[in-house]
Every structure is written in structure tokens, then in C-alpha cells.
Chains A and B, each alone.
Chain A
Amino acid sequence: MMKIEAIIQPSRFESVKEALLEIGIEGMTVTEVRGHGRQKGHTEVYRGREYTVDLLPKIKLEVVLADGLVNRAVETILKSAKTGKIGDGKIFLTRVDEAIRIRNEERGESAL
């Protein structure tokens, strides 16, 4: 089992969600986060005072999948999240040791 952690542009989120749904992936956790890589922020001005805002809003998507589905999911995310500009985000893959469904305490890949 692998966890896919994708940090993407908020404007791409709806497309990514729909694309994942289309390939049969329905379970995900979504968080609103702030951050930056090499993308510069923007300047705001209030009554003559300038503020540099360098923590930009992003969406973090987390899905845990059986090994066999991971590659397809990663490709789907890449395709739907990409704009080609700096600030598109990143995808991280980590191995998951165990998954448990709380309702009936099922374990393993059938719990996903």
C-alpha cells in the first residue's frame, strides 16, 4: 500500500478530483495548506505599508492505494494538475504499513 500526497494549485483541484473519480478512486483526504517552493509570493499594500506574502494557498490531497493502482493514479494527477507554470506543486509517495477500516475493523488492502 502506498500513500500519494499531492500538493497542487487550488484552481486545479476540481479537475484532479473528477479525474481520480473517473479511474475509480473515491477515497481521499483534502486539506487547505499554505506554502511555497521556488514560487515567489505577491506584495500587498495597506495604507502605504508593503507586505510580502510568500506563503501561498495550496490544496493537499492524500490518497492511500493498493500498489497496483498507484502508477495510474500518479499519472492521472500529473495530467490534471499540471499548468506548466512555477507553483504547480509536488507529489510524494510513501509506503503505508497498515490500513484499518474503523467501522468493521477490516485490515489490509480490503480496508482501502
Chain B
Amino acid sequence: MKRMGVACCLLLTLVLSACPLRAQQTTTSTSAPPASASSAEASQAINDKLSDLDKRVAAAQSSADNGWMLVSAALVLMMTGPGLALFYGGLVRHKNVLAIMMQSFALMGWITVLWALVGYSLCFGGNGPVIGDFGHLFLKGVGIDANPDYAATIPQMTFMVYQLMFAIITPALITGATAERMKFSGTLLFMTLWFFLVYAPMAHMVWGKGGILNASLGGKFPTLDFAGGTVVHITSGVSALVCALYLGKRVGYPKHPMPPHSLVLSFIGACLLWVGWFGFNAGSALSSGGLATSAFVATHFGAAAAACSWSLAEWFKNGRASALGAISGAVAGLVAITPAAGFVGPMPALVIGFIAGIFCYWMVAKFKAIFGYDDALDAFGVHGAGGTIGALLTGIFARAIYNPIYGAGKPTGGLDGHWSQVGYQLVGIAFAWVFALVGTIVILKIVDAVTGLRVMEEQEIEGLDITQHGEEAYNLES
């Protein structure tokens, strides 16, 4: 045993001394050029030093940006698991909690596979107006080198894995509308088709090179969408509405009470969403400098203002502010600030959040009741509606001093005098609505024919955990 330990230490020492350590590579001499050298040699040496300094500054900036981006990617993944899983999980009845969590978790696995094989390429490859290409199939060409079209200071692999987390959470949001009655097999098929037919085109159009809605790369209808108000929230929210209408109401809705089984879980989930959203929005700066800070602050202010305004609206209407209302308000604010985060100042962020809180409260408490659809966990009311109002307000409040997206000195949004931006926002919003609407109807028809959408009534009454997954979430007697 002891001899093995000594042998291992020797081997380790040999290996370590053979490996070039990074630190050794980056040190350079700090001595001045010799006094006897000619002036040409001296200036050459200085130029060499300056270019070497340039490289080191770039490397330092790169390290900072990459560090922040990797953390952001992790934060956004956390938003799905366990953020969204807990938030939704607490809102359903206890017989369905595992099912809703499983749907989010399954996407974490499955969307990753699709993304790695072909998804990233379809979203960010090529330069088509509507969709990418197969140039990055199996992530070919996606390595440590930066892709200056998207993010010049970080490895393209970082950008790829960061964007993956968005592709995971977007379809997961839809499960809020189909909760407590959709088949697991149907969910998987639906999400796969939705990813290709709705998410990939929308992501490419707004964020991909050549995309017609891309504001930073010269799209024809430049839509300001910093972190995904249209790509993520409007698409998933509108899809959610279509699903809710197509699937129909849950058995017993609205007559039987179906209150959340654990607002404690929802509370934890909502807070994880809030914190994770810093990665979602501030990470969309794709760098760790001032723009990330601006987006971070706007995100937080938007969430806080919306939590306050939703609670205020409830207090007015019901005489009491509820915990569910407060956390729902925060989420609504985060949704609304998502397209705006890197374009607006702190004060407009408060305004956007305040408006979103009240608007989404009305959508959830009044609008839904008027039309009677069973959007079980208010995916449309919060994400669809919040994303729409946020995208619109972005057009008004965006200012070049926070993000000169059209070039230095060029006006960005309404407050800069560029009021036609609001028109472009409407175009982007319309694209998102139409793609989501049409795409979802087509997909629902296909899934209905292949796997079926809804579980049988007895299964719905018994609960999805037992019937779809053979499990009970809480075995308190065991």
C-alpha cells in the first residue's frame, strides 16, 4: 500500500513537471531593452511589448466574459431545474407534482441532445432570413475559438451552451398550460416538434445571423429583444393558450376547487427563477462589462416593481395581498423586462415592472375568467401577456446610452426619438404570435394523431404521477 502511494506521488511529480503550466506560458520579461540597441530595434521591442500587452488585455477580458457566461449558463439551467419545476410543482395538486417536474426535467435531457446534434446549427448557423443551416451539424466548427458574429470574446462553445439553456426552458414553460391532463408521451413529441417548428425559426430570426428580425445584425424588421421576450415568452405563452384551448378544461374545472398543493415549493421555485434570471438577462450581454450590469439592475428592478404592483392590485381587489400573488407578480415583471433588460435604464425598468404586474394580474384574474379557458398555471397570462407588453414597452423605453445597438450615436427607441422602433416591435410581436399560433395548431394535430394528447378521464382523476410515471410524490407513511 505504502509503496503504491510513493509510486503515485513520483508519477504525479513527473507528469506535472512535464505539463506546460499556463502561468509559465504567460509570463514575459519586464526588463527594458538594452541601452546600446539602435532606435529601430528599441521601437520594435516596444511595439512587441504593446502587442503582447494587447493580447493579455484581450485574454483578461475574455476570461472575465467567459467566467460570467459560464455562470450565466448554469443560472439559466437552474431556472428550469429546479426553479420552474418547483414553481409549477407547488401549484398543481399533489397527485400531479412529479409529472410536471418530470416534464421540465425530461426537456433538460432531451432538448440538450437535439441541440447538440442539430439544434444549435438550425438556430445560429448560416445566414438565412428565417432559419439557420446544417453547417454546425454535430457541433462541427463549434470550439474554443470565438464566433465574432455573436460574441467575439468568448469561445463559441460557451455561446452554444448558454443558448442551449434558453432552448430548454422555453418549451418547459408551455407545460404550465397543459398541466394535470397531458400525456407524457404526447408532451415529448409535442416539445420535439415545437422546438423545430417554432423555437428554432424564432430564435434564428431574432438572434441568428441574417435573421429578418435581428436588430444587431441588420435585420429588415429590427426587433429589440435583449434576452427573449419574443423568442421565449411570447412563443411559449401563446402556444400555451392554444394548447389550453385545444386540450380543453381539466375534469371538474372550474367548479371543483384545485388550489395549489404547496405554495412553499412555488415560493422556492419563484425565488430561484428570480436569481436565475440574472443569468438569463444579464448573461445576454454576452460579456461581463457595463452592459451586463445595466441588464442585471434592470432585471432586478423590473421584478421588484412588478411584485409590488401585483400585490397592490390584489390588496385593492381582495383586501389582502397573497404570497402567490407576490411571487406571480415578480415572475411577470421578470418576463416583461426580459426583452428590455439591456436597453433601458433603471427608472424605466421600474415602470415596466409596475405596468407588467398590474397587466398580468388582470390577465390572470379577470381575462381568464371572462373567456373561461383552463390555462392551468397561467403560462399565457404571465408569459404570453407579459412578453407582449414587455416587448412593446421596450420599443418605447430603449435608449442608445445603455446599448447603442444600431451603432454609436444612432437612436434606439422611442425615448431617443426613434418612435418607429415601436412599429418594429409590433412586427416582432406579430411574428412570434403567428409562428406560435400556427405552429402549435399544426403540432397539436400531429401529436393528437400519433400519441394522443390527453390522458383518459379515470387517469386524470387518479393523477398523472401514478398513471404516467408509476410513482407517488409523497409516501409519508413509509
Residues on A facing B (Cβ under 8 Å): 44-49, 51-53
1/0 per residue, CB under 8 A from A, across B357-395: the answer is 000010011101100000000100000000000000000
Contact A46 B254 (CB under 8 A): no
Partner of A46, one of B259, B320, B361, B368: B259
Indicate whether B400 reaches chain A with its CB closer than 8 angstroms: no
Known: A44-B259, A48-B317, A48-B361. 8 other contacts (CB 8 A): A45-B318, A46-B322, A46-B324, A47-B324, A47-B325, A47-B378, A48-B369, A49-B254
Q: Which residues of B contact A47 (CB under 8 A)?
A: 324-325, 328, 364-365, 378
Q: Is the interface of B mostly helix, strand, loop or mixed?
A: helix
Which of chain B's residues has its CB closest to A52's CB? B257
A44 to B320, CA, bound (A): 11
Q: Which residues of A contact B248 (CB under 8 A)?
A: none
B257 touches A48 (CB 8 A): no
B260 within 8 A of A: yes
Interface of chain B residues 285 through 336 with chain A (CB within 8 A): 317-318, 320, 322, 324-325, 328
Contacting residues, chain B, for A53 (C-beta < 8 A)? 257
A-B contact count (CB 8 A): 28
> CA–CA, A45 to B311, complex, Å?
13
- One digit per residue, 1 when the CB lies within 8 angstroms of any chain A CB and 0 when it does not, for chain B 332-369 equals 00000000000000000000000000000100111011
Instruction: Tell me the complex Cα distance, A49–B364, Å.
Output: 9
- Chain B: number of interface residues, binned into ranges: 10 to 19
Residues of A within 8 A of B322 (CB): 45-46
Kindly list chain A residues whose C-beta atoms are within 8 Å of the C-beta of B366: 48
* A67, B332: Cα distance in complex, Å: 65
List the B side residues contacting A48 at CB < 8 Å: 317, 361, 364-366, 368-369
Considering the complex of A and B, which 5 residue pairs feature the smallest CB-CB distances, nearest first?
A48-B365, A51-B257, A47-B364, A46-B259, A45-B318
Task: Please give the distance in Å from B246's CB to the nearest CB on chain A.
Answer: 22
Contact with A along B408-424 (1 / 0, CB 8 A): 00000000000000000
B369: A residues at CB distance < 8 A = 48-49
Chain B: minimal CB distance from A40 (Å): 16
Q: What are 15 pairs between A and B in contact, CB < 8 Å? A: A45-B322, A46-B260, A46-B322, A47-B324, A47-B364, A47-B365, A48-B317, A48-B365, A48-B366, A48-B368, A48-B369, A51-B257, A51-B259, A52-B257, A53-B257
Complex-state Cα separation, A47 to B326, whole angstroms: 10
| Best-buried of A45, A47, A52 by chain B (most CB within 10 Å) | A47
CA distance A48 to B329 in the complex (A): 13
Residues on B close to A: CB < 8 A? 254, 257, 259-260, 317-318, 320, 322, 324-325, 328, 361, 364-366, 368-369, 378
Nearest CB in chain B: distance from A56 CB, A:
14
CB distance from A43 to the nearest CB of B (A): 10
* Chain B positions within 8 Å of A46 at CB level: 259-260, 322, 324
Closest to B367 in A: A48
Contact residues in B for A49 (Cβ distance below 8 Å): 254, 365, 369
Min Cβ gap A4→B in Å is 28
Chain B residue at smallest Cβ distance from A43: B318
B199 to chain A, nearest CB (A): 27
Q: Which residues of A contact B368 (CB under 8 A)?
A: 48
Task: Tell me, rounded to whole Å, the shortest Cβ–Cβ distance linking B263 to chain A.
Answer: 9
Residue numbers in A under 8 Å from B365 (CB-CB): 47-49
Residue from A44, A45, A48, A52 whose CB has the most chain B CB atoms within 10 Å: A48
Task: Give the complex CA separation of A47 and B258 in angstroms.
Answer: 12
Q: Least Cβ distance of B95 to chain A in Å?
A: 17
A-chain residues with CB within 8 Å of residue B320 when the two chains form the complex: 45
Closest to A51 in B: B257
Chain A residues within 8 Å of B259, by CB = 44, 46, 51
Give, as a whole number of angstroms, the nearest-CB distance from A22 to chain B. 33
Residue in B257, B260, B361, B366 whose Cβ sees the most chain A Cβ within 10 Å: B257
A36 shortest CB reach to chain B, Å: 15
Question: Which residues from B are CB-within-8-Å of A45?
Answer: 318, 320, 322
Q: How many angstroms from the CA of A49 to the CA of B318 in the assembled complex?
A: 11
Residues of chain B with a CB closer than 8 A to A51's CB? 257, 259
User: How many Å from the CB of A27 to the closest CB on chain B?
Assistant: 23
CB distance from B328 to the nearest CB of A (A): 6
- Please measure, in the bound complex, the distance between the C-alpha atom of A45 and the C-alpha atom of B328, giving whole angstroms: 14
Residue of B nearest to A53 (CB): B257
Closest to B361 in A: A48
Chain B residues lying within 8 Å of A52, measured Cβ to Cβ, are 257
> Smallest distance from the beta carbon of A15 to chain B beta carbons, Å?
28
On chain A, the residues within 8 Å of B317 by CB distance are 48
Task: Give the complex CA separation of A49 and B361 in angstroms.
Answer: 12
Which residue on B lies nearest to A45, using beta carbons? Answer: B318
A37 and B322 alpha carbons, distance in the complex (Å): 29
A48 to B363, CA, bound (A): 10
